[in-house]
Amino acid sequence: MHADSLPPCRTNVSAEDLAREADRSVLYGAILAAQRPGVRLKSDVADAARALAPYVRAFLDGREDADASYALEYACSCGAEAFLLAKRASRETTRS
């Protein structure tokens, strides 16, 4: 997104922060897609979120394999580790 097209509340945000926000949006979409496979996602994130969803599903299922590790690494890289861990914990509580 070009700086001239940003809303006023976003003009002092770094490109790195905007990229992290975009990655978090993809992660949130992937979590939705993993929990509800038929969910409709915003077109901006749909393809990337659906590609990430199998990894997120592996993590939410409590697996300890490379797929689950990738989801956690992705979440860490965009500052959403706590959110993903909380989703897994709430899912484990629900199953108990």
Q: Which of 4-8, 47-51, 64-68, 69-73 has the lowest mean pLDDT?
A: 4-8
pLDDT at 12: 80
Q: Is residue 95's pLDDT more than 90?
A: no
Whether residue 6 lies inside any domain: the answer is no
What is the distance between the alpha carbons of residues 1 and 30, in angstroms, rounded to a whole number? 22
Whether residue 32 lies inside any domain: the answer is yes
**pTM of the model as a whole:** 0.85
Whether residue 59 lies inside any domain: the answer is yes
What is the distance between the alpha carbons of residues 60 and 9, in angstroms, rounded to a whole number? 34
Whether residue 4 lies inside any domain: the answer is no
Residues of the domain holding 29: 14-95
Q: Is residue 60's pLDDT more than 80?
A: yes
Percent of the chain past pLDDT 90, that is, above it, reads 73
Whether residue 70 lies inside any domain: the answer is yes
Report the number of distinct structural domains present in the chain. 1
When pLDDT is cut at 50, 70 and 90, the band that residue 91 belongs to is confident
What number of CA atoms fall less than 13 Å from residue 48's CA on the CB side? Answer: 14
Whether residue 22 lies inside any domain: the answer is yes
